[in-house]
Structure 1
Amino acid sequence: MRRLKSGNGQASARNRISRSYSDRIFDIVNLFVMLVLLVVFVWPLWFVVIASFSDPNEVWMGNVVLWPKGFTLISYETLLEYKRIWVGYGNTLFYTVVGTLVNLVMTVCGAYPLSRKDFMPRHFFMFLFMLTMYFGGGLIPTYLVVSGLGLVDTRWAMIIPGAVSIYNIIITRTYFMNSIPASLQEAATLDGANSFQYLMRVVLPLSKPIIAVIGLYYAVGHWNDFYTALIYLYNEDLMPLQSFLRDMLMSTKMTLNNLSGLDTATVELKTHLAQTLKYSVIIVSTVPVLCIYPFIQKYFVKGVMVGSVKG
């Protein structure tokens, strides 16, 4: 018996040593893969930042790799001299704030009734909503509808046509169904609360994670939207930031195509500056959104995971 126990103990010790060795190999390989992925995803972002603060000549020659070379703000100065950019910032802030509020109101108003089991036609309306995810009228019919409503060349053309996302309605509906206990509705009804009071005082305060998530989705969509303005807007005073930045880059390219009559040094400076200007545009257009994300990060993962457990 002692020999048998001794043999079993030695075998288990060998297994522990083998598992420990295998775990160490796995950890090393996993760490190496994560470091490679970190470099692949982080370095391009870091390069955009350092290139925007580097000497255009150094960027053009490929000398900027890990740190800025010849620190300068000339690209940002050139960008800020484009006065229309402040008009674009104001318009984009309006479209993002007002558009996101409209999106959240429409999404909650669509998702809440569909999550109520006592709302009998919820399956019918859910079918109609999902049908729009697979079939659409196309650009021309959509433009005719927007034009018929008198929204062309108005601020509301950037907000009303995309006032709601069916995907976000489904996610929000699922969150309401799975995360808000039915007993809360019964308790609120016994206390004399109607459906609107129950929604405002019980459901919404408990739904901060999903509201933060879909709010971020909508806000980023409005902030980056230039295609809608390209279709529906003609007045420059209504253009969003992304349209002005796009026009500025396009005008820079057109200027580079007409450099005849300038001396070689000026041509070289404008060419190199146009290259660096692209990185400054990226920074200017993305930093505001990046500043918002840390404040809602704690809700982000929770909202997505809880709201997507069941369909």
Structure 2
Amino acid sequence: MDKSIMGRVIDWTNYVLLGLIAAVCTLPFIYILSASLTAPEELLKRGFILIPHSFSLEGYRYVLSTNTIVNSLGVTALVTVVGTLVNLLFTALMAYPLAQRDLFGSRLIMKMVVFSMLFGGGMIPTYLIVRWTGLLDHVGALIIPGLISAFNLIIMRNFFQNLPDGLEEAARIDGCSDPGILFRIVIPLSAPVLASLALFYAVGHWNSYFSAVLYINDSSLWPIQVWLRQIVILSQGGIGDSTSFETGYVAPPAETIKMAVIVLSVLPILVVYPFLQKHFAKGALLGSVKG
């Protein structure tokens, strides 16, 4: 049926509003990318740039002149990959038994999980626990304290509860154990919710910097976000090695270095996101609605 004139007006109004919101959201990314590709002289002269007149990779060249950024990217990638896999494993190991309706004390445990979402021990007790367990200056301090997210646990538990009971019953008749049911039947059927939670965990690990500031004193173990914080907040541009260039080389201004490091820190997660995006909405919806 043809839409009325008022319906078309409402549709076009929504299109315009959504387009404006999308433009406002993408404008900072366009500016950062353009500024990182702009010649330092033009950036200092014009300030705000969306379309550079003269392109330059001097900021990236200077930032990548040492292994500092490359090493920090490696640390971040290691924490993101290992941390995400460990997070998914332990979340599934806790969510599966809590999804069993006949588990004694499951309601009490779930109330404790929800309680942890509202109240926490605080920064100082957490730091003391990390120190007593010997995790200071260790990449494990970036993974283990946040091993299981209560929010993600609830989503995965609800997803497991929505699976047909006949699958587990058939597996038990065939002699399959509880771990076998989890890893052979439940996990393969949970790809959408696992992909969604993997995205949550991965983005959280990639963007995390506060844990490293608290627990990591060795700068060689700093993730990329800590170096980005050092550059952006403290305005320290001396991250590269001017001695590796020709004599008389002048390092680019701090603003160019900031933009280049921001792009390098955001680009990897933007590359991975499209591969998980198709599972994102479906997994979150299936795991958040019980029925």
Q: What TM-score comes out, normalization by structure 2 length?
A: 0.89
Work out whether residues 85 and 245 of structure 1, in 8 Å CA contact, stay in contact via their aligned partners in 2. Answer: no
Q: CA deviation at 1:210?
A: 0.7
Alignment of 1:237-252 (within 5 A): 237-249=220-232, 252=235
- The answer for the alignment partner of 2:245 in structure 1 is none
Higher helix share: 1
Q: Does 1:23 align with 2:3?
A: no
Overall identity of the aligned pairs, in %: 40
Instruction: State the Cα RMSD in Å.
Output: 2.2
Alignment equivalent of 2:55, drawn from 71, 87, 107: 71
Partner of residue 201, structure 2: 218
1:228 aligned onto 2:211: yes
Residue pair 2:196, 2:280 contacting (<8 A) in 1 also:
yes
TM-score, with normalisation over the residues of structure 1?
Answer: 0.84
Q: Distance in 2 between matches of 1:216 and 1:27?
A: 32
Which residue of 55, 59, 72 maps to 2:39?
55
Q: Distance in 2 between matches of 1:219 and 1:176?
A: 22
How far 1:303 sits from its partner (Å)? 0.4
Q: Which residue of 2 aligns with 1:287?
A: 267
Instruction: Give the letter for the 2:289 counterpart.
Output: V
Q: Is the CA contact 1:224–1:242 (under 8 Å) kept in the aligned structure 2?
A: yes
Does residue 191 of the first structure (1) align with residue 174 of the second (2)?
A: yes
Give the Cα–Cα distance (whole angstroms) in 2 for the partners of residues 195 and 250 of structure 1: 50
| Structure 2 stretches lacking a partner, 5+ long | 239-247
Q: How does 1:1-311 map to 2 (within 5 A)?
A: 20-62=4-46, 65-178=49-162, 180-249=163-232, 252-253=235-236, 273-310=253-290
Whether the aligned pair in 2 keeps the contact of 1:152 and 1:232 (CA below 8 Å) is yes
Structure whose CA Rg is larger = 1
| Residue 103 (structure 1) shift | 0.7
Distance 1:158 1:106 in 2: 16
- Number of paired residues? 281
Q: In 1, are the aligned partners of 2:92 and 2:156 still within 8 Å (CA)?
A: yes
Which digits, 9 at most, give the CA deviation of each residue in 1:41-62, with x for residues without a partner? 2222122111211112222333
Letter in 2 for 1:307: G
Say whether the 8 Å CA contact 1:146–1:152 is kept in structure 2: yes
**Cα-to-partner distance string for 1:130-163 (whole Å, 9 max, x where unaligned):** 2211221111111111111111122211111111
> Equivalents in 1 of 2:138, 2:185: separation in Å?
37
Match of 1:10 in 2: none
Q: 1:33 to 1:254 in 2, by over 3 A?
A: closer
* Deviation at residue 308 of structure 1 after TM alignment: 1.0
Cα offsets for 1:263-298 (capped at 9, x unmatched): xxx9xx86x721122211111001100111111111
Structure 1: give runs of 5+ residues left out of the alignment.
1-15, 256-265
Q: Counterparts of 1:135 and 1:63 in 2: how far apart (Å)?
A: 44
Structure 1: distance between partners of 2:26 and 2:148: 33
Provide the C-alpha distance between the structure 1 equivalents of 2:100 and 2:26, rounded to a whole number of angstroms. Answer: 44
